[in-house]
Amino acid sequence: MSTILLIFHGLAAVFLIGAITHQAASLLRSAAPPTQRGFVQRFTAVRPVGYAAAILVLYLVTLLLGALIYPSYALGPRAMIRAEWPGAFAAFEVKEHFAALGLALLPVYWKLWRPPVPSETISARRSVTLLLALIVWTAFLVGHVLNNLGGLK
């Protein structure tokens, strides 16, 4: 059962990282003339407002699935990883706390992205979105590495 939940956790995280990377990149883009549009410009040329609800739901689903499989990790590979890879163990602890703190950001994230989106809140919107993207990327990479080291079986 843990393996199935872990797969869904990973799939939700993939959708989440894709959505929030698109949204965050769109906030960082510089206006390029149409003639210079390459992959990066096309990647960032999305309507970021349209991603907010999906990101909110995906964050909650990913966190919930992670919380459900966390006990299997605590009873399973946690002790071995702590002994053999203390750096990875510490990184995972950080990831779990970051994920929890990301939950704290969701109400203000939703408030800033709920239409109509005023242009005067762009600075706050950019900061909150980039911080949430940092949390998602950290959690994704650490989770991936830890699973490769000897995660849930």
Residue closer to another protein by CB (options 45, 122) is 122
How many CB atoms are located within 10 Å of the residue 3 CB? 12
Which of 11, 40, 45, 108 binds another protein (CB under 8 A)? It is 108
Minimum distance, C-beta of residue 81 to another protein, in the bound complex (Å): 13
Alpha-carbon distance of 141 to 139, in angstroms, equals: 6
Q: Cα–Cα distance between 107 and 77 in angstroms, integer?
A: 34
Nearer to another protein, 41 or 78 (CB): 78
Name which of 27, 44, 19 is nearest 117 in CA terms: 27
- Regarding 149 and contact with another protein (CB under 8 A), the answer is no
**Phi and psi at residue 17, in whole multiples of 5°?**
-70, -35
Amino acid present at 25: A
Indicate which single residue of 103, 117, 141, 144 sits in contact with another protein (rule: CB under 8 A).
Answer: 103
Q: Is 107 in the site for another protein (CB under 8 A)?
A: yes
Q: Spell out the residues 6+ positions from residue 40 whose beta carbon is closer than 8 angstroms to its own.
A: none
83 binds another protein (CB under 8 A): no
Report if residue 75 touches another protein, rule: CB under 8 A: yes
Q: Does 28 bind another protein (CB under 8 A)?
A: no
Q: Note whether 62 and 9 are within 8 A (CB).
A: yes
Q: Is 3 in the site for another protein (CB under 8 A)?
A: no
Q: Is 70 in the site for another protein (CB under 8 A)?
A: yes
Residue 53 lies near another protein (rule: CB under 8 A):
no
Both tokens of 61, joined, read: 């689903």
Number of H helices, E strands in the chain: 6, 0
Contact positions toward another protein, by CB under 8 A?
Answer: 67, 70-72, 74-75, 78-79, 86-87, 90-91, 93-94, 96-98, 100-105, 107-108, 110-112, 121, 124, 127-128, 131, 135
